[in-house]
Structure 1
Amino acid sequence: MSAAQDQLEIKFRLIDGTDIGPKSFSAATSVATLKENILAQWPREKDNGPRTVKDVKLISAGRILENNRTVAECRSPLCDIPGGVTTMHVVVQPPAQEKEKKASDDMKQNKCLCVIL
């Protein structure tokens, strides 16, 4: 495999439709490294950005990518178009403590106050 084929052009599509990249990555790059790159390049003007790698989910070809996998392992047949750019979708998850707090607040609001005699 030549060095040119070992490199992939990847852009990251954010939820609002804007992109980060494209940037060239080696096929041996881990998904965790891609997420670190997203954190470093996240637009500062955007609200609700990820704080850590754990807050970011990457989706490619309909699959959620695992941190310990490499780009080559996650590659779909669509990525093999010469000179093509692969688009990965970025989903930011709110931190767990905010989810738990919201869930407990929702339970308080949905409390039944009926009395059956």
Structure 2
Amino acid sequence: MSGMQEQFEIKFRLPDGTDIGPKQYPAASTVATLKETIIAQWPKDKEKGPRTVNDIKLINAGKILENNRTLSECKSPICDFSGMTTMHVVVRAPTQDKQSDKRAAKKTKDFRCGCAIM
């Protein structure tokens, strides 16, 4: 087996229940590389797709995987990556910048009722 690099078969379960994959990945692949693959293969007809690797969290065996870890480092006794592994994809909702939040708060203050009850 020397010369052969270990491969993992992984599919990614999206929030709506659809899947990307399965596909073979080398054990030396980082979690960030997997996230880049997800972004590249994200279905174009779906709204609210991730834009960067920081918009995605990958969950395997109840653990959130860190971007700088490799697949071989993520192996655990609970999930040894034998056979096909399903990783769950969580997409972080886009955040608004603070300026638009301030404008929205100001707009709600501008629409006060000016009625007086006598």
Give the TM-score category using the shorter length. 0.7 to 0.9
Displacement of 1:95 in angstroms is 2.3
Q: Is the 8 A contact 1:79 1:85 kept in 2?
A: no
Instruction: Provide TM-score, normalisation by structure 2.
Output: 0.76
Amino acid at match of 1:41: Q
Matches for 1:32-51 after TM superposition, within 5 Å: 32-51=32-51
Q: What is the alpha-carbon distance in structure 2 between the residues aligned to residue 80 and residue 55 of structure 1?
A: 25
Structure 1 residues not aligned, in runs of 5+ = 109-117
Q: What is the alpha-carbon distance in structure 2 between the residues aligned to residue 59 and residue 80 of structure 1?
A: 13
Which residue of the partner structure matches residue 115 of structure 1? none
Structure 2 residues not aligned, in runs of 5+ = 109-118
Runs of 4+ in 1 over 4 A off after TM superposition: none
Deviates more, 1:16-25 or 1:92-101: 92-101
Which structure carries more helix by proportion? 1
Which residue of the partner structure matches residue 14 of structure 2? 14
Q: Is the 8 A contact 2:8 2:81 kept in 1?
A: no
Q: What is the alpha-carbon distance in structure 2 between the residues aligned to residue 73 and residue 10 of structure 1?
A: 15
Instruction: Provide TM-score, normalisation by structure 1.
Output: 0.76
Amino acid at match of 1:87: T
Counting matched residue pairs gives: 102
Q: How many percent of aligned residue pairs carry the same amino acid?
A: 63
Displacement of 1:80 in angstroms is 4.2
Matches for 1:66-77 after TM superposition, within 5 Å: 66-77=66-77
